[in-house]
């Protein structure tokens, strides 16, 4: 199914060594992330009683989910999941919005739950937003992260911490997918334990995906054909599309953007040409509508890479990644990530960038006293 011409023209994969010796941490962290997925499932199992107590005692009127950068994009992926699974209004906001414009974000009354997501637990905006939230609302806070003994953990009523998600690289890869699994497993544990049981296959399925599609990700990442990338996702997949876009942008400094599938037609598709790769993170519910957008982009000259749980017909995409998990979207978000992280990594190698230390970036944004909002 995947384009034989591209596959034939590429050099054989000479193993996983970074092309120019840079990005060792990032590549290693991408390739070992399923061990962190296993640990993430264990964290939720261990904290299940505390989680259920927090949820049942809270009688919450709505849920706010917040973070910065990658963890804001994870918030965008988790908020619709919370609303869908728990039947409660849930909203994702950047921590800076919650901090600077609380009156536009904070509910006037009610008893909200704040979910903070932060790999480091040390991002100033997220800390300050949480402090302000607690002062105003005195409401409970649930934290998801990768480090104990941080300001954000200290500000939380319950913290779900995955040590195995910790990284040397600035870019979030293993940490992001592990926090994704913690969030989806935590929600599953509140609604249906059978979903938690079903999620136990994820590390094995993820391992298989990485070994099956590593070569495709490298060939597409290094292909001279593409000079711009668009990541399309809707519903539970939009936040993941934003994260995949951030990986491409921050690691390789490429022209790339993320959109809701049907939004892409309303202007941004003007950018599509023969040098474009459009990446579709398919849902189940809107699959037909999403495939229609991708067909139109192919007609404009783009090539398409589709990620889905079930295979597509030959003519539906130029390249496809199939999970074959049998899991619903509410339990399998992490499966979209490894191949797209590798795509960004190999584009970075092609562009001579070092994803361990991306241009202009640091692992945590800590604002100096006086700079703080
Ligand atoms: C937030 C963040 C990351 C971003 C970069 C700088 O960190 O903005 O999302 O990718 O690493 O820091 P954290 O609050 O998740 O630790």
pLDDT > 90? residue 281: yes
What local confidence, expressed as pLDDT, does residue 15 receive? 42
d(CA 273, CA 301): 5
Ligand 1 atom index nearest CA of 72: 9
Residue nearest ligand 1's atom 11 by CA: 363
Distance 128 CA to ligand 1 centre (A): 15
What local confidence, expressed as pLDDT, does residue 9 receive? 41
Strands 303-308 and 62-67 come out as unpaired
Can you give the pTM of this predicted structure?
Answer: 0.93
Mean pLDDT of 70-82: 98
What are 195's two structure tokens? Answer: 């979903």
Residue nearest ligand 1's atom 2 by CA: 69
Mean pLDDT of 308-322: 94
Quick one: how many helices (H) and strands (E) in the chain?
A: 14, 10
pLDDT > 60? residue 3: no
What local confidence, expressed as pLDDT, does residue 11 receive? 43
Contacts of 372 (CB under 8 A, 6+ apart): 124, 128
What local confidence, expressed as pLDDT, does residue 244 receive? 98
Phi, psi of 209, rounded to the nearest 5 degrees: -60, -45
Residue with the larger pLDDT of the pair 319 and 106: 319
CA angle (191 as vertex; 187, 196 as ends), nearest 5: 65
Computed over every residue of the chain, the mean pLDDT equals: 92
282 contacts 305 by C-beta, under 8 angstroms? no
d(CA 144, CA 35): 18
What local confidence, expressed as pLDDT, does residue 298 receive? 97
pLDDT > 90? residue 109: no
Q: Among 155-159, 319-323, 369-373, where is mean pLDDT lowest?
A: 369-373
Cα separations in angstroms, 322 against 5, 185, 214, 298? 20, 22, 13, 20
Residue with the larger pLDDT of the pair 362 and 98: 98
pLDDT > 70? residue 14: no
Span 141-195, pLDDT tens digits: 999 999 999 999 999 999 999 999 999 999 999 999 999 999 999 999 999 999 9
Ligand 1 neighbours, Cβ below 6 Å, are 67-71, 118-120, 123, 126, 170, 172, 361, 363-365
75 contacts 92 by C-beta, under 8 angstroms? yes
Q: Among 10-14, 49-53, 108-112, 330-334, where is mean pLDDT lowest?
A: 10-14
Residue nearest ligand 1's atom 14 by CA: 118
pLDDT > 80? residue 372: no
Mean pLDDT of 267-278: 96
What local confidence, expressed as pLDDT, does residue 360 receive? 79
57 contacts 111 by C-beta, under 8 angstroms? no
Distance 324 CA to ligand 1 centre (A): 31
Mean pLDDT of 216-221: 98
What local confidence, expressed as pLDDT, does residue 19 receive? 46
What are 252's two structure tokens? Answer: 């390789």
d(CA 355, CA 322): 26
Distance 325 CA to ligand 1 centre (A): 30
Contacts of 173 (CB under 8 A, 6+ apart): 26, 29, 30, 33, 167, 247, 337, 341
Q: Among 12-16, 69-73, 244-248, 311-315, where is mean pLDDT lowest?
A: 12-16
Question: 320: helix, coil or strand?
Answer: strand
Span 19-67, pLDDT tens digits: 455 779 999 999 999 999 999 999 999 999 999 999 999 999 999 999 9
Distance 317 CA to ligand 1 centre (A): 33
What local confidence, expressed as pLDDT, does residue 127 receive? 97
d(CA 257, CA 139): 36
Distance 78 CA to ligand 1 centre (A): 17
Q: Distance between alpha carbon 325 and the CA centroid of its chain, in Å?
A: 18
pLDDT > 60? residue 275: yes
d(CA 200, CA 195): 9
> Which of 90, 81, 83 lies closest to 183 in space, CA to CA?
81
């Amino acid at each position: 199914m995947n384009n034989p011409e591209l596959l034939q023209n590429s050099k054989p994969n000479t193993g996983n060594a970074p092309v120019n010796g840079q990005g060792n941490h990032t590549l290693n962290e991408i390739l070992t992330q399923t061990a962190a997925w296993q640990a993430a499932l264990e964290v939720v199992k261990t904290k299940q009683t505390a989680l259920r107590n927090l949820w049942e005692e809270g009688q919450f009127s709505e849920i706010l989910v917040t973070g910065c950068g990658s963890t804001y994009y994870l918030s965008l992926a988790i908020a619709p999941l919370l609303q869908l699974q728990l039947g409660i209004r849930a909203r994702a906001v950047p921590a800076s919005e919650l901090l600077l414009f609380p009156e536009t974000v904070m509910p006037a009354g009610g008893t909200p739950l704040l979910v903070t997501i932060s790999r480091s637990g040390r991002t100033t905006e997220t800390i300050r937003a949480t402090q302000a939230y607690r002062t105003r609302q005195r409401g409970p806070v649930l934290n998801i992260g990768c480090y104990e003994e941080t300001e954000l953990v200290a500000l939380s009523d319950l913290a779900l911490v995955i040590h195995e998600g910790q990284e040397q690289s600035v870019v979030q890869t293993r940490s992001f997918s592990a926090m994704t699994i913690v969030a989806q497993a935590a929600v599953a544990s509140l609604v249906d334990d059978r979903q938690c049981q079903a999620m136990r296959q994820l590390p094995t399925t993820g391992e298989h995906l990485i070994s099956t599609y590593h070569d495709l990700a490298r060939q597409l990442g290094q292909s001279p054909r593409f000079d711009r990338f668009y990541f399309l996702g809707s519903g539970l997949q939009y936040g993941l599309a934003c994260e995949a876009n951030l990986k491409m942008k921050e690691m390789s400094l490429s022209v790339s953007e993320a959109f809701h599938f049907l939004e892409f037609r309303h202007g941004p598709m003007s950018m599509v040409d023969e040098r474009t790769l459009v990446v579709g993170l398919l849902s189940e519910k809107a699959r037909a509508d999403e495939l229609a957008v991708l067909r139109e982009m192919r007609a404009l000259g783009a090539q398409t890479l589709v990620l889905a749980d079930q295979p597509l017909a030959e003519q539906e995409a130029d390249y496809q990644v199939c999970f074959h998990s049998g899991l619903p979207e509410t339990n399998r978000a992490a499966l979209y990530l490894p191949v797209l992280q590798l795509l960004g990594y190999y584009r970075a190698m092609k562009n001579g960038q070092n994803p361990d230390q991306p241009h202009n970036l640091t692992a945590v944004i800590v604002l100096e006293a006086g700079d703080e909002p």
